[in-house]
Chains A and B, each alone.
Chain A
Amino acid sequence: MRMSSVILRTAVRFILPLTFLYAAYAALKGHNGPGGGFIAGLIASVGLCTYRMSYGDRAFHRLLPIHPRWLMFVGLGLAAGVAALPMLFGQPLLRSASTTLHLGGADVHLVSATAFDLGVLLVVVGVAVGMISRLGEELDP
């Protein structure tokens, strides 16, 4: 399934990095502002799907040389790992931990839940992109 319009193709070149940037922002900022892993995953998926629609399957494969399911596996593993990690220290499942780093003048507040959120992000991207590109393959000649 392709939409070969020059305008779209040119625009996507600029849109794709921007969506990634915004997805990363939403994922990392999510704990305190609007955003979160799920939203960020959907944003990134929309960007990737637009790219695939305008440039085609092969170009998309060059951009993401692995099957999207690997994103899903890694994401699920990350989320489950972060969830299970506290159990090693005798804490209940999913107990979150936080720390504050002093980098120069700025304080950066790190919460373990952010890693969990990144796992969610990867799963969402893997599932959405994987299913859409798989169905898209069916329509390719």
Chain B
Amino acid sequence: MSSVVTAAPYLILAAVCAPALSGLATMLLGGSRRLPRLTLATAGPVASVALLAIHLGRHGVSPADTPTGTIPWVPSLQLDISFLVDGLGAFFALLIAGMGVVVVLYARAYFGPDDASLARFFPTLGFFTSAMLGVVLADHLLLTVLFWELTAISSFLLIGWDRDDADAGKRAMQAFFTTGLGGLALLGGILLFGGHTGIWRWSHLIAEATTISHDGTVIAAFVLIFVGAATKSAQWPLHDWLPGAMKAPTPVSAYLHSATMVKAGVFLLGRMLPAFGALALWLPLLVSIGAVTMLLGAVLALGQSDLKRIFAYTTVSHLGLLVAMYGMGGASTAEGLMAIDWDLTQIASHALYKAPLFLVVGALAHLIGARRLPELFGLWHRPGTDTKVVAVVLLLSGYALAGGPGTVSFVAKELFFATTTHAAGLHPLLAVVGVMAMAAAACNVAIFVRLATTVLGSSTGVRDGSAVPEPDAHGVDRWAFMLWAPAAALIALQYLGGLVPSLWNRTFRGIEVNVNDGAFANGLPWAWEPFLHPGMPLLMSMVAIGVGAALGFSGWMRRDLVDVHARIWPASYRGIVQGGHRLFHSVQTGHVRHYLAVVFGVLTLCIGWAAWADPAMLRPPAGMAPLEYPTGLLLGAVVCTTAIALPMVTERVVRVLVLGASGFAVVGLYLVYQAPDLALTQLMFEIISVILFLLVLRLLPRPDRRPRIRVLPRLALASVVGITIGWMTLIAGHAADSRADDTPTLGAFFEAHSLQGSELTDGRGGEGRNVVNVILVDFRGFDTLGEITVLATAALGVWSMLPGRRRHREEEDVRVPTGQGTQP
């Protein structure tokens, strides 16, 4: 760990904060100044990209165990700000910032002339971008959790964007609840792990990877962290929030729910792979959850008709694929060669076709109002240049979704098939994952075929009788080209990387850490190379394409599928709300006597438990001399009598007076036992409390009837509590006397040091002879400060609940006095 303070962490901190700051700055621009607003909002992510590029240019891609320097933050918690700009972090950061630029520009066209939406959108989006950059660049584990939670909050705001749509609010809550629960699991896992091993940094964790013992605590921590990652990345069975999040505006769907936020979980697994990949649980857990999610998502995607939901489910499917990929990374450390290759390329290829798909879907909703697949029927033949361009981008993106040759995602799919073949060689059971991957790929191909035939208006396309609805309400203006231009730019990268892999290799070879298979050691192959050297992966690809095409043209699986997992959230939500309601009403009855019964009952039980554990507590203390002061006995009798009389008196005012009599008898007791301070305090307090009680009681409404009370249980509880507390007081008072050894008591310490200090207190004394007061203002001065603060707060509460009448009185003063106040 480097503790040298350099400029590097400040540079990265600036890169992380830039989008949020520029987003906030747009709030300063009022009214309809669209161009300055857009420029400012774009400047943030652009600055992030630039700062990251400067950092990478200066320091290069750092190894995973070498963080940037640190900025001290909370040294007592060993929490400081340091970043880890390794290949994984740098790749994700550039992806997030780059997509951030694209989405800001797209949002300008999407919201069009709607200034209010734009004014609200840019700050929220900037907030999210910064949070996401923080997640992928943080080195400290707790810093990761902090930014992780910030992404959950900002994503909640973005999903529930439409304030008039109740369903959007519910969906936002579902997403927040699911990922927030995962965030709590993540926090728990990290605290468990950090507390157990003392490792609080990713870099440290990766450096110590081989020395971490695989005991129960580490495994529990790993499972908790995995739960956090899986909920964020919408893994089965809690994936339902992701299709639900499609209620968000399309820029949000494109950015958060395909390209960036949902990949945070995958990112976390990538971070953990070097350290936890060797755990025996790593592979079975990740591969099983990931593979199930992959196949389920693909099948469900085929059974949707809403365009955004189709692509949401394919996203779920691809996230499952990525989790399974990282899972298989744990396969073969024993052989020294991991079954994982070019994982960042895999992630990038998904972002580079899924984001364009979403962007185009938003464009279609704007231009022709189509949101469902059947409404796209014959899109190609409709008039309008914009429509034609959008259709081309849609088909090109769909081709990449299908993983057709010539795109990066074709190569990425080959890589994944190669990974499964490799892993199947290590363990035959993993061959099942290969089959599932083929099925999922076939579904993707079928989706593309349906999309293409529908857009081109072919007879096998999807259509129904529904009329094409009206375009979106946002409207379009001269920025309309931005609806498709970002998508076109992104999809161009797909084909550029696929057709000219040397460019891709030059960019990615430097940051890819996991390049394990010899066949890919020199880089991704040219588009035709797999065909020259056919192998298992190519065979799997071809089978998937063949089956997918057949499925796409056929009439099978055209009905809408309902995801049974969509019931989990409403059911658990209802359960929580109703259960909470019931629990609340059974605990919070609103009757003071119930609360008191609970408080006293628990207190008595605790003391009883302590007495059961230590029976010495039940023995009467030695050295009691009850008959030493007859006056004391007499006063004690008065206290007891008044206490017994208290419940027998029915009139409230009389009760207060009886209570006061009891208090004054206690004053006498203090005097008898020579405690003048206490006596004086008690005396004054009794006077004031009697006045206060009388005032309050006169303000209370008179009860219409006496409530029927059951005397016996109350009497029993009162007796038990009274005897218990009395006994405790008795043995506490004699605790010092019955001490076997001569360890100094606190009382003796205060007595000895109240005036003069000793070596125990570095020679400082309280400078006073009144021990009680010295304790109050010196030894325990901080307590006193806290107490008077509480007192003042309580008084403020009273005054704010009973607002003053001074103004009324001043008005009255102006009038002629009625003679009520001043004459005797």
Contacts and interface: CB of A to CB of B under 8 A. Distances in A.
Interface string A21-64: 00000100011111111110011011001000100111101000
Contact of B695 (A76, A120, A136): A136
Interface in B775-824: 776-778, 781-782, 784-785, 788-789, 791-792, 794-796, 798-799, 802, 804-806, 809, 813, 820-822, 824
B785 A43 contact: no
Interface string B491-503: 0000000000000
Contact of B773 (A53, A117, A124, A131): A117
Interface string A10-23: 00000000000000
A138 B684 contact: no
Task: Tell which of B691, B769, B794 has the most Cβ of chain A within 10 Å.
Answer: B691
B435 to A, nearest CB: 69
Interface centre among B777, B781, B821 (most CB of A within 10 A): B777
A36 B652 CA distance: 34
25 contacts: A30-B770, A32-B769, A34-B676, A36-B677, A36-B773, A38-B681, A39-B684, A49-B688, A57-B809, A75-B788, A76-B792, A79-B784, A80-B785, A83-B782, A94-B778, A94-B781, A94-B782, A96-B766, A96-B767, A117-B776, A124-B791, A126-B792, A128-B688, A135-B696, A141-B820
B199 to A, nearest CB: 34
B692 A132 contact: yes
A26 B772 CA distance: 13
Given A32-B769, A58-B822, A111-B768, 10 more contacts: A31-B777, A34-B676, A36-B677, A42-B685, A46-B688, A57-B821, A67-B804, A76-B789, A94-B781, A135-B695
Nearest to B813: A58
Nearest to A53: B691
Contacts of A126: 792, 795
Contacts of A93: 782
B759 to A, nearest CB: 18
Nearest to B794: A127
Main secondary structure of the interface of A (DSSP, over half): helix
Given A113-B778, A139-B695, A139-B698, A36 B794 contact: no
Interface string A110-141: 01010011011001101110111011111101
Contacts of B681: 38-39, 42
A6 B597 CA distance: 47
Contacts of B766: 96, 113
Interface residues of B, number: 48
Interface in B388-437: none
B699 A139 contact: yes
Interface string B583-626: 00000000000000000000000000000000000000000000
Contacts of B521: none
A16 B161 CA distance: 65
A36 B822 contact: no
Contact of A94 (B785, B804, B822): B785
Contacts of B692: 131-132, 135
Interface in B119-150: none
B312 interface: no
Contacts of B680: 26, 34-35, 39, 43
The 9 closest A-B pairs by CB, nearest first: A42-B684, A31-B768, A34-B676, A36-B773, A32-B769, A135-B695, A113-B777, A127-B795, A94-B781
A33 B769 contact: yes
Interface residues of A, number: 61
Contacts of A35: 677, 680, 770, 773
A83 to B, nearest CB: 6
Contacts of B687: 46
A31 B767 contact: yes
Given A4-B824, A80-B785, A135-B699, A39 B792 contact: no
B767 A36 contact: no
B268 interface: no
B677 A137 contact: no
Contacts of B806: 67
B795 A72 contact: yes
B768 A127 contact: no
Contacts of A1: 695, 698
Interface of A: 1, 4, 6, 9, 26, 30-39, 42-43, 45-46, 49, 53, 56-59, 61, 67, 69, 72-73, 75-76, 79-80, 83, 93-94, 96, 98, 109, 111, 113, 116-117, 119-120, 123-124, 126-128, 130-132, 134-139, 141
A9 B822 CA distance: 11
B84 to A, nearest CB: 37
B774 interface: yes
A34 B799 contact: no
Contacts of B773: 30-31, 35-36, 117
A135 B693 CA distance: 10
Contacts of B776: 36-38, 117, 120
Nearest to A96: B778
Nearest to A109: B767
Given A116-B777, A127-B792, A42 B769 contact: no
Contacts of A58: 809, 813, 821-822
Interface string B315-334: 00000000000000000000
Nearest to A95: B764
B792 to A, nearest CB: 5
Residue among A36, A79, A136 having the largest count of chain B Cβ atoms under 10 Å: A36
Contacts of A116: 777, 781, 784
B770 A33 contact: yes
Given A111-B768, A135-B696, A31 B774 contact: yes
A132 B777 contact: no
Contacts of B698: 1, 139
Contacts of A136: 695
Contacts of B676: 34
B785 A72 contact: no
A79 B821 contact: no
A69 B821 contact: no
A36 B695 contact: no
A31 B755 CA distance: 10
Contacts of A4: 824
A87 to B, nearest CB: 13
